[in-house]
Amino acid sequence: MKVARLHAAGDLRIVEEAAPIEAPGRTLVRVEAVGLCGSDLHWFADGHIGDAGLDQPAIPGHEIGGIALTGPLAGRVVAVDPAIPCFDCPRCREGWTNLCERIKFAGHSDTDGGLAEIISWPTDRLVPMPDGLDAVDAAVLEPLGVAIHAWDLAHVKLGDRIAVVGCGPIGLLLVQLAKRSLAGYVAGIEPLEHRRDAALACGADAVHEPGNLPHDDFDVVFEVCGNPDPVREAMTVARRGGRVVLVGIPDEDVTTFPASLVRRKGLTIPVVRRMPEVYERAILMAERGQVDLRAVVGQQFGLADAAAAFEVASRRDGLKVVIDPSS
């Protein structure tokens, strides 16, 4: 089978490897959609993310949808939960499986990800999709899950004023969650015109370029970029006593903001780390039409053009870039 294996920053090779074989407790999945996330772009551009480096060639991709080929779900469209927690450490027992001390994660360290024609994955970490939702929808469930986790951390109240700083795919999903929660007002902050247009299409009441939103005005702010300028803007537009949820991953392993601003406002700052067990909620929202998964999807590529897909995604030319390893 063909896989895309990352050997070093910018060095993504399409190679032939042996297909995985059936094993107890695992299912073979024909991968039909892998969404490229900001963390994937860090691996591709830098060969590392934060303090985690690429110490061996790895198959990227953790937003995965496909068709189960074996096991009890054979023939079904499935979403692949990329996290394999231990379920036994203190954090797992508290329900915070995203903070598991021994977690395995697709496309990270020695756990290969989804950019392969066929993968083997624990059957209990596969989620069958309802009729009418395909592999691309399944792949988008992972960023939706991150958005749901961010929403949970925000403790949004009915009628709150909400700002989303950064209207990429997760930001657009947060705009949709905000509009469907009966928020009082939803604003986006985004430098790219096509993403401002997408945020309006997803229901934002208004979308502004950076620096053009009122200060001290929002109960909850989601920061979905990670770099110092948007983080500072998020702190600036939040009201006194508000919450700023940090979702984005910075280009460098540092997040900075003016301490005096945050201290004087008494802001609460939760930080998102992937997601706990939220896939069932994500699927329910998609099945009921409460979120439009396709609204965040842009260009699609075959596996042979995976390097080009990463380049397009790195330029932020569109929205969610998806690779189909089966084509």
Residue of higher predicted confidence among 107 and 218: 218
Is 323:303 a contact under the CB 8 Å cutoff?
A: yes
Residue 253 has pLDDT above 90, yes or no: no
Is residue 250 very low, low, confident or very high in pLDDT (cuts 50, 70, 90)? confident
Residue 193 has pLDDT above 90, yes or no: yes
Q: What is the CB neighbour count within 10 angstroms for residue 287?
A: 15
- Is 14 exposed, middle or buried (CB count within 10 Å of its CB: 0-12, 13-18, 19+)? middle
Average predicted confidence (pLDDT) for the chain: 94
Q: With the C-alpha atoms ordered 104, 109, 112, 115, is the resulting torsion angle positive or negative?
A: positive
Is 188:207 a contact under the CB 8 Å cutoff?
A: yes
pLDDT of residue 50: 67
Look at strands 218-223 and 206-208 and give their pairing: unpaired
pLDDT of residue 20: 96
Question: Maximum CA pair distance of the chain?
Answer: 58
Is 141:286 a contact under the CB 8 Å cutoff?
A: yes
Q: What is the pTM of this model?
A: 0.95
Residue of higher predicted confidence among 201 and 38: 201
Q: Which residues pair with 121 in a beta bridge?
A: 27
CA 299 – CA 79 distance, rounded (Å)? 20
State what percent of residues in the chain have pLDDT above 90.
84
Is residue 1 very low, low, confident or very high in pLDDT (cuts 50, 70, 90)? very high
CA 245 – CA 222 distance, rounded (Å)? 5
Terminal CA-to-CA distance of the chain, rounded, Å?
A: 12
pLDDT of residue 5: 95
Residue 48 has pLDDT above 80, yes or no: no
Residue of higher predicted confidence among 243 and 46: 243
Contacts of residue 140, Cβ cutoff 8 Å, sequence gap at least 6 = 35, 63, 65, 169, 293, 294, 296, 297, 320
